[in-house]
A and B are shown apart, each in its own frame.
Chain A
Amino acid sequence: MYISKTLLQSMLILIISAFLGFANNYFSSQPVKISTERPGTPEAPDSTFHNSHSLNISEPVIINKNQLKNLIATEDVILVDARSPEEYAAGYISGAINIPFDHLGDYMHEIDALPKDQWLVTYCEGPRCDKAERLAWTLYEIGFERIAYYNAGLEDWQTTKDIEQ
Chain B
Amino acid sequence: MNRTLLIVILRIFLGVVFILAGASKIGNPAAFAEDIDNYRMLPYALVTFLAIVLPWIEICAGILLVFGKFLHGAAFTVLVLNMVFIIAISSALARGLSIDCGCFSPGTGAAKVGVLRLIEDFIFLAIAVYIFRTAHHKAKPSKADF
Instruction: List which A4-35 residues lie within 8 A (CB) of chain B.
Output: 5-14, 16-18, 20-22, 24-25, 28, 30-35
What residue in chain A is nearest B55 (Cβ atoms)? Answer: A21
Candidates B29, B49, B53, B99; contact of A130 at CB < 8 Å: B99
Q: Which residues of B contact A109 (CB under 8 A)?
A: none
- Contact call A35/B70, Cβ cutoff below 8 A: no
Candidates A5, A16, A35, A37; contact of B60 at CB < 8 Å: A16
- Contact call A22/B52, Cβ cutoff below 8 A: yes
Interface class of chain A by DSSP: helix
Say yes or no for A102: interface residue by CB 8 A criterion: yes
- Contact call A9/B76, Cβ cutoff below 8 A: yes
Q: Given A32-B30, A38-B37, A130-B38, verify A9-B52 contact (CB < 8 Å).
A: no
- Contact call A13/B52, Cβ cutoff below 8 A: no
- Count of B interface residues, CB-CB < 8 Å: 44
User: Contact flags (1/0) for B55-80 with A, using CB distance below 8 Å?
Assistant: 11101110010000010111011001
- Contact call A25/B60, Cβ cutoff below 8 A: no
- Count of A interface residues, CB-CB < 8 Å: 37
- Contact call A38/B44, Cβ cutoff below 8 A: yes
Residues of A whose CB lies within 8 Å of any CB of B are 1-2, 5-14, 16-18, 20-22, 24-25, 28, 30-38, 84, 101-102, 128-130, 134
Given A9-B146, A16-B56, A18-B52, 14 additional A-B pairs, CB 8 A: A7-B76, A10-B80, A13-B61, A13-B70, A14-B57, A20-B60, A22-B52, A28-B29, A30-B29, A31-B29, A32-B51, A34-B52, A101-B98, A102-B96
